[in-house]
Each structure stands twice: as C-alpha cells, then as structure tokens.
Amino acid sequence: MNQKIVLSWSGGINSVLMLHRLLEQGEREILALVTTVLAGESKIAMHEVPQNLLEAQACALGFPLYTLELPRDAANAVYEEKFGGLLQRLKRRNVDSIAFGDIFLEDIRAYRESILDKIGVQPLFPLWNIDSRTLVGEFMELGFKGVTVCVDSRVLDASFAGREMDSEFVKALPASVDPCGENGEFHSFVYDGPLLKDRLRFTKGKVMQRGAFYYCDLTSQ
C-alpha cells in the first residue's frame, strides 16, 4: 500500500521540485500541502506572500491546503506544539509521512526528525544531497517560473528582490550564495510551470526593507 503523505510547503523552488520528484516516483499518495502562515496577517511565514496567492497556487496544483498559524517570531516550543497538533489530526486521516524540501542543512533535518519521532510520523527528504546547481537547472529546464519575494540584506542587495528566477539571476548571484537559497539567502514564489493548471497572476509592489530582509510585495490580480 502506498504511503499517504503531506508536503511541508513554502510555495518556492524547493517545494515544486520536491513535488515534481515525488510525482515522478509515483510510489506515494500525496494528500495535501501544509504551510505556516503569520497569524492575523494572512501571509506565508518568512516569505510574506499573501495567503490568497498561496491558496491559488494550491488550487492550480490540485491539492488541498492546510495552514498552520503562528505569530511573528514564535518560539520553537510554540511551533512544535502547533505543528505536532496538526500532524496528529492528519494521522487520524491516515497520513503517515511528511516531505520536506531541505537539501543539505544537517541541523534542520535533525530538528525535523526529532519532532516527528515523538509524533510517529515519518519524515521524507526527496531533494537531500542533490547539488543545488543541478536543482535550479532542473527548475528552469522543466519550465517553472518563479520570482524572489524575500532576500537577506546581509548577503544580497535590494536589486535581487522581485527578480525572475532565470539564468541571469543565477549568474548574478555571488559565489557564496546557494543558487536555491538553501541557507536562507532568498525565498521565492513559483507562479507557473508544468504542474500548475493555470498561471498565477499578480502585480509586483515596491521593494521594502523590513528588519534584515528586503521584500517584494505581491498582490493577486
């Protein structure tokens, strides 16, 4: 019997590549996407993409969406309690695994594994140890389209926010920056590609700095 899984979903490049690989393998039944959003703000946590665009993306992909609401700067304990509660509810619906788009960060993987071990849900890492340049090349070759929505001002300047994730973007990245943004250098939102039945329509707003990050606000059309 196939594993019944949900995906830890950010809406960005790693998420869609994870989904693409899982669908290609065809060994598991994907039931839903799970995304952390900012409580009272209707935005994806960290990325700050509006929730209505997230919902449109999930609809275009053809999957139900579960959201986990957290306040800004929530402590790990708060996240673990809410995340654990959601997974316990999903377990009662026969979900036995959750997949993450992590590539190589050992500490993040260990943290996720420690949480899930207590809950009795299996973690999956479909992109683990695949070269980031291989992944971003695959993203473009498959025909996905994405835009950067958040960049860390400590490693990238404001011009990288709101840019298309194309070959010119990758070429322009400093050598120290992972091309998938695996170290948190940037975050993205995928709006078109082979898995989406419709291209998502939005307007880019001004690039604004909030704390250590530059954000390009998106507004659904």
- How does pLDDT run across 38-57, given as a tens digit for each residue? 999 999 999 999 999 999 99
Please compute the mean of the pLDDT values over residues 3-27 and round it to a whole number: 96
Q: Are 158 and 183 part of one and the same domain?
A: yes
Q: Which residues contact 147 (CB under 8 A, 6 or more apart)?
A: 162, 163, 164, 165, 188, 189, 191, 204, 216, 218
Q: Are 139 and 77 part of one and the same domain?
A: no
Looking at the chain, the whole-number percentage of residues with pLDDT higher than 70 is 100
Q: Are 151 and 88 part of one and the same domain?
A: no
Q: Are 162 and 204 part of one and the same domain?
A: yes
Q: Are 139 and 190 part of one and the same domain?
A: yes
pLDDT 10s digits, 167-176: 999 999 999 9
Q: Are 94 and 113 part of one and the same domain?
A: yes
Q: Are 182 and 139 part of one and the same domain?
A: yes
Phi and psi for 107 in degrees, rounded to 5?
-70, -40
Q: Are 154 and 61 part of one and the same domain?
A: no
Q: Which of 101, 124, 147 represents a domain boundary (last residue)?
A: 124
* Distance (Å) of CA 110 to CA 46, 115, 116, 123, 210: 21, 9, 10, 10, 30
Q: Which of 124, 150, 171 represents a domain boundary (last residue)?
A: 124
pLDDT at 1 over 60: no
pLDDT at 27 over 90: no
Number of domains in the chain: 2
Give the per-residue pLDDT at 133: 97
Q: Which domain holds residue 41?
A: 3-124
Q: Are 138 and 102 part of one and the same domain?
A: no
State which H helix or E strand residue 207 sits in. strand 202-210
Q: Which of 24-28, 131-135, 190-194 has the lowest mean pLDDT?
A: 24-28
CATH number at residue 23: 3.40.50.620
Q: Are 157 and 101 part of one and the same domain?
A: no
Average pLDDT, the chain: 96
pLDDT at 129 over 70: yes
